[in-house]
Amino acid sequence: MKIDTFKVEKWFNKYEKDALYDLADTCIEPLSISELLELTAQDYEDVFNKKLNYGEIYGSERLRSAVSTLYEKQNISNITITHGAIGANQLVMLALVEPSDKVVSIVPTYQQHYSIPKSIGADVKLYFLKEKNGWLPDLKELEQIVGNDTKIICMNNPNNPTGAIIPDEMLYKIVEIADRCGAYILCDEVYRGLNHQGNSFGVSVADIYEKGISTGSMSKVFSLAGLRLGWVCAASDIISSVNSHREYNTISVGILDDYFASIAIENKDKIIEQNIKKLLTGKKILLDWAKNESKIRLVEPKAGTTAFVHYDLPISSTDLCAGLQKDTGVMILPGETMELDGYLRIGFGNNFEKLEIALKIFSEWLDKSDK
Ligand SMILES: Cc1ncc(COP(=O)(O)O)c(C=O)c1O
């Protein structure tokens, strides 16, 4: 089965190992095992005494119960545990998309949401978010593209790369658009839990629509990307179709991953409070820099770990990022890898000293490039 190159992953493979300042990353500083055990007041012996058998098939009851607390109306039968959100998204596509199905994908987004259905033979329509709308969908335009024959709408809320979060009323309207034609909504909610203000967890599509599917993971919200653990949350008939495919590629996730994820979610308030503080610190550094940088314009991110920044130079984002890294070691992700040239994705959740220095270096480089 042919599939398009995953452009963001290719970029990381090529540039990450040599980066002196990595501003392309979407994670918040990761937790170590000892930090996690201390933060959650766990006994080290519990870890060392674990027998390394297969785990419970769909994820332990303890873990699925913990995940269900991240939603309003879900229980363990609505959740299956996967290899990261990347595994969750793929399994949902394999379970639901047939050749010739119409799939509407709201971009920019994680490339899985259009390249996997395309590889299955679906008729994929991209709906482009616009900066002038604060990176939120225009519902009239969305309704038009969805029409009456869409099988799945794929979206990412809060959004990577823009940091936009769809207001609740708008999310309900998107559900109405989907419901009119009986479409599923696959909402990648991997950044849900990282709203910068108010309740860190916004409304989930799984709680408000019977054909709403939420995917999530430990990678961003809990700073535990190394667990490689995520989930699908949806109505039990959808979970059952997902599990039919899951039997062929997962068996179970690792016992230790399941355990670490359980204790992290059971102590979510402590971890998330710490992470929001970090995000607000990083965001302030980014916004202060952008205010004083005449060649840069950005919509303030309201959630998540990244901003999508417009630059004012007559070169492609790919050439800009390749040149910047070659000259300075500063790594930024080109918008072209997310289908929107003229923009750059900057992550602000990690290592603030480096963030501040790297942005200064970037400004100096922009000045030189303009001459
Ligand atoms: C929107 C989105 N979905 C899914 C993933 C994959 O997440 P995970 O590490 O849980 O597999 C990422 C990773 O950057 C992402 O940004």
Q: Compute, in angstroms, the gap from residue 86 CA to the centroid of ligand 1.
A: 6
| Smallest CA separation from ligand 1 atom 14, residue | 26
The verdict on pTM exceeding 0.75 is yes
| Smallest CA separation from ligand 1 atom 2, residue | 110
Q: Compute, in angstroms, the gap from residue 217 CA to the centroid of ligand 1.
A: 8
Q: Compute, in angstroms, the gap from residue 215 CA to the centroid of ligand 1.
A: 10
Q: Which atom of ligand 1 is nearest to the CA of 110?
A: 1
Q: Which atom of ligand 1 is nearest to the CA of 229?
A: 10
> In whole angstroms, what is the distance from residue 74 CA to residue 236 CA?
10
pLDDT value at position 200? 86
Pocket lined around ligand 1, Cβ cut-off 6 Å: 26, 84-86, 110, 156, 160, 188, 190, 217, 219, 225, 230
In this structure, how many other beta carbons lie within 10 angstroms of the beta carbon of residue 27? 16
With contact defined as beta carbons under 8 Å apart, do 126 and 158 qualify? no
With contact defined as beta carbons under 8 Å apart, do 310 and 340 qualify? no
DSSP letter assigned to residue 301: P
pLDDT value at position 199? 86
Q: Convert the pLDDT of each residue in 166-192 to its tens digit.
A: 999 999 999 999 999 999 999 999 999
Q: Extract the tokens encoding 255.
A: 């016992």
Q: Which residues of the chain have pLDDT under 70?
A: 371
3-class SS at 126? strand
Closest CA to 164 of 212, 140, 187, 131: 131
Closest CA to 306 of 260, 345, 256, 249: 345
With contact defined as beta carbons under 8 Å apart, do 124 and 132 qualify? no
pLDDT value at position 53? 96
Q: Compute, in angstroms, the gap from residue 190 CA to the centroid of ligand 1.
A: 6
Q: Which atom of ligand 1 is nearest to the CA of 230?
A: 10
Q: Extract the tokens encoding 30.
A: 């990761």
The domains of the chain, with CATH numbers, are: 7-32+270-369 (3.90.1150.10), 47-267 (3.40.640.10)
Closest CA to 136 of 155, 114, 111, 116: 155
